[in-house]
Amino acid sequence: MAKFLLLAFRNVFRNRRRTMMTLFMVGGGVAGLLLVGGFFSFMFWGLRESTINGGLGHLQVFSADHFNRDEVRVLDTGIDNWRQVAATLKTGSHVRGVAPRIDFYGMVSNGDKSSVFMGSAVDPAAENSLGFTTRFASGNDLDSKPGGEVEALIGTGLAKSMNVKVGDGLTLLAMTSDGALNGVDVQIVGIVHSGIAEMDARSLRITLPAAQRLLQSDRVTNLVVGLDNTDNTDMVATELTPRLLNLPQKLVLKKWIELATYYKQVRSLFSMIFIFLGVIVFFMVLMSSVNTLLMTMFERTREIGTMLAMGTPGAWIVALFMLEATLIGILGAAVGLVAGNLLGFLLNHSGIHLPPPPGNTVPMPFKVLHVPSLMIGSSLLVIVSLALASILPAIRASRLRIAEALSHV
Amino acid sequence: MEEIVNVEAVSRSFPLDTSSAHHPSQSFVRALSHTTLRVTAGEFLAISGPSGSGKTTLLNLIGCIDRPTTGRILVDGVDTSTLKPKGMSSLRREKIGFVFQTFNLIPVFTAAENVEYPLLIQGVSSSERRQRVVEALESVGLSARANQRPDLLSGGERQRVAVARAIVHRPALVLADEPTANLDTHNATQLIDLMHGLNRRLGLTFIFSTHDARLLEHTERIVRLCDGEVISDQLQGGSRG
């Protein structure tokens, strides 16, 4: 077997120029997949972390009725004794903190003009402790100290449509739990942008106590849990779920992935694009390798005839050709891994930024992640492609007519 | 003496145009016609004749590389006409050694590895392979060149490696197709002496095709072919028919 492997290995380097061309092609395919896949992985990672750190958190707790709620009277299905629930959640390992929230809707008016808003009431201190980032176009964050005027942050689009700036006042109107319309005057302390234009045209944020006064309820709609690492999400969710069952109110724990609709759509789209690229690389390697291996077989006709004449079983000839192709695949994959990782490293240090993707306003850095599963997958892809490509030439070689093969010039 | 090859009324025809093999008006060229030949163990036999006389065709048929159109061939008692391709391959592997006009060594193998190859495909253990390769290379006087690749060997050395490869697995029969055709006089003489020596020392049966007078001088028995027919079968110093 070792001699046979040696024969295959030496045959691979018989025609060095052609082998180099094949390695270049196979390696190019692997490097291309690594760069594209690495960039997509970076995008997924960046989108995941920005989604989580943008306020989604790693886990969220809702009342069991939350998903059948009335969009106007949101706190009817809120969490009753949320401080007790928050304390329970904080007992989980890897939990960095818990932030209470009220997601609500209402009307905002500047006296001349009114608009619908999507409100979010937060505890600024809890949000900051979880590292949730807010991108300010101007102004400052909410003050968590009680008393004084009600402060608000509004999205850039909403500020533009309401023609207001930091320091100006607005009036918020929303439906209380008992169905009455309530209002509150707020002072704008900051104008924020999320990167998604549609969000910025509607978003408004006030403090939790202010929202509870407006909505006449001390409930919250949800509790956001921040962890030390996204990879611990499943483990903590498994740990906390039974603890929540011991509480009086029926609650539901959701992982970030279940709530990140946009992330899932983007990931699904780009995964399909990547699979399509993989299929193209597979056929590219397959078709060009069949041609190269048929040429190799043709050039070695007399040698194969000699081996068959000496009594080499046809299966050995098939195995030899497939082994040679597999070796080229392995070497090509190695070349591709080195080239792909090197190019990735250079690109990561080049400081290149891409234009903002559709719906976003922030340029995206061009980074390539070095993903082990991607390296293994793309290497296996080209190795299997080459092994498959060798089947036809290998079978042809094993079925050569010996007398004709021996007289082949 | 034990009969090693028995060629019984063998003919071999080839279609002139292989692309119309089943056409009713297909024409054939007859390469060998009703040939009968018996070879006993230990013979040193030359098949001679002009180009196109059927020498290579007869060697291919005896070597189980090709099948006769009619007639049958027994090699070491085995009727080759009853064998399937795997059986033919096995017979070649076990009982026959080949020496080709153009040496046909595997270029990426060293001389020793080329000689080792027949043992490798027979599944001989590595320690025994090593020992027998050393012996075979010694017997052809090439021990010092064992680790050289064929492209670094002279024509004569390459053909001696080919002879070592043909005898290393101790075959019942060695077939050599024009073994001296690509060699100069000096190397051809050396090769003839080598093959003759192996024939006498080891009792190996050699059948080779040639029209090299130098080789014919050393041959005990010469079978002459012309237009696919045996026209004479002579022993040096006497005639068999």
- CATH of residue B108's domain is 3.40.50.300
**Domain check: are A104 and A223 in the same one?**
yes
The verdict on A104 and A199 lying in the same domain is yes
Arithmetic mean of pLDDT over chain B:
89
Q: Tell me if A313 and B117 make a contact (CB, 8 A cut-off).
A: no
Rounded CA gap, B122 and A310, in Å? 10
Mutation pick from B108, B109, B115 vs chain A, by most beta carbons of A within 10 Å, is B108
Closest Cβ–Cβ partner in B66, B100, B121 for A311: B121
Please state the pTM of the whole predicted model: 0.77
User: What's the helix, strand, coil split of chain B in %, to 5?
Assistant: 40, 30, 35
Flag whether residue B92 sits within 8 Å of chain A, measured between CB atoms: yes
Cβ contact (<8 Å) for B89 and A314?
A: yes
Q: Could you say which of A180, A215, A249 is where a domain stops?
A: A249
Cβ contacts (< 8 Å) between B89 and chain A: which residues?
308, 311-314
Strand pairing category for A150-155 and A181-192: parallel
Size of interface A-B (CB pairs under 8 A): 64
DSSP state of B237: T
Are A142 and A223 part of one and the same domain? yes
Q: Are residues A193 and A121 in the same domain?
A: yes
Number of domains in chain B: 1
Q: How confident is the model at residue B220 (pLDDT cuts 50, 70, 90)?
A: confident
Backbone torsions φ then ψ of A176, nearest 5 degrees: -80, 175
Q: Are residues A71 and A207 in the same domain?
A: yes
**Residue entry with tokens 């595997």:** B106
* Within a domain: B37: no
Q: What is the pLDDT of residues B146-188, one digit of tens each?
A: 999 999 999 999 999 999 999 999 999 999 998 988 888 888 8
Looking at the fold, whether A356 and A297 belong to one and the same domain comes out as yes
Q: Is residue B195 part of a domain?
A: yes
Dist. CA B185–CA B130, nearest whole Å: 32
Residue A78, domain member (yes or no): yes
Distance CA B124, CA A119 (A): 83
Is A229 within the bounds of a domain?
Answer: yes
Token pair for B183: 């060699």
As given in the structure block, the two tokens for residue B223 are 């079978």
Number of domains in chain A: 2
Does ipTM exceed 0.85?
yes
Domain membership flag for residue A59 = no
* HSE-up (13 A, CA, CB side) for residue A311: 25
Q: Which domain holds residue B52?
A: 43-67+84-239
Give domain status of residue B18, yes or no: no
Tell me the mean pLDDT per 10 residues along chain A, length 409.
Answer: 86 88 91 92 88 90 84 80 92 93 92 91 90 87 78 94 92 87 92 86 93 90 93 94 90 94 91 91 85 88 95 94 93 95 93 74 82 94 92 92 86
Retrieve residue A354's tokens.
């891409």
> Using only C-alpha atoms, what is the Rg of chain B?
18
SS3 breakdown of chain A: % helix, strand, coil, rounded to 5? 55, 20, 25
- 8 Å CB contact of A4 and B120: yes
- Assign A168 to helix, strand or coil: coil
Residue from the list B60, B96, B109 with its beta carbon closest to the beta carbon of A7: B109
CA–CA gap between residue B172 and residue B115 (Å, rounded): 17
**Inter-chain touch A307–B100, beta carbons under 8 Å:** no
User: Do B65 and A309 lie within an 8 Å CB cutoff?
Assistant: yes
* Chain B residue nearest residue A12, CA to CA: B108
What is the residue-wise DSSP string for A370-402? Answer: --HHHHHHHHHHHHHHHHHHTHHHHHHHHT--H
d(C-alpha B73, C-alpha B63), whole Å? 10
Chain B interface includes A403 (CB < 8 A): yes
Place of tokens 């609650």: A251
Tell me, yes or no, if A147 comes closer than 8 A to chain B by beta carbon: no
Q: Nearest CA of chain B to the CA of A10: how many Å? A: 6
Same domain, A46 and A91: no
C-alpha distances (whole Å) from B235 to each of A31, A295, B175, B221 are 71, 48, 19, 4
Q: A43 with A69, same domain? A: no
A257 lies in some domain:
no
For A213-247, what is the HEC assignment? HHHCCCCECEEEEEECCHHHHHHHHHHHHHHHHCC
Q: Which residues of B touch A402 (CB under 8 A)?
A: 60, 65-66
Q: For residue A114, give the H/E element and its range.
A: strand A114-122
The pLDDT of residue B83 is 92
CA separation, residue B26 to residues A211, B11, B20, B21, B57 (Å):
100, 18, 7, 7, 21
Q: Convert the pLDDT of each residue in B27-51 to its tens digit.
A: 888 889 999 999 999 999 999 999 8
The parent domain of residue A167 ranges over 65-249
Residues of A in contact with B98 (CB under 8 A): 306, 309-310
| Contact with chain B for residue A316, Cβ under 8 A | yes
Strands of the sheet containing B238-239, edge to edge, are B96-99, B173-177, B206-209, B44-48, B221-226, B229-235, B238-239
Q: Which residues of A fall within a CB distance of 8 Å from B65?
A: 309, 402-403, 406
| Residue A299 within a domain | yes
> Which of A7, A302, A314 is opposite residue B108, by nearest beta carbon?
A7
Closest approach of B48 to chain A, Cα-based (Å): 19
Which residues partner with A184 through β-bridges? Answer: A172
Among B90, B94, B98, select the one facing A309 at the smallest CB separation: B98
Q: Is residue B10 part of a domain?
A: no
Examine the domain organization and report whether A70 and A197 are in the same domain.
yes
- Report d(CA B174, CA B205) in Å as an integer: 6
CB pair distance less than 8 Å for A311 and B120: no
Phi-psi label, residue B49: left if phi above 0, alpha if psi -120 to 50, beta otherwise: left
**Amino acid B239: pLDDT:** 45
Residue A315: per-residue pLDDT: 93
Q: Name the phi and psi angles at A48, rounded to 5.
A: -60, -50
Per-residue pLDDT, B219: 87
Q: Confirm whether B74 is domain-assigned.
A: no
B77-83: long-range contacts, CB 8 A cutoff, minimum separation 24: B77/B3
If asked whether residues A47 and A145 sit together in one domain, one would say no
Give contacts of A409 with chain B, Cβ < 8 Å. none
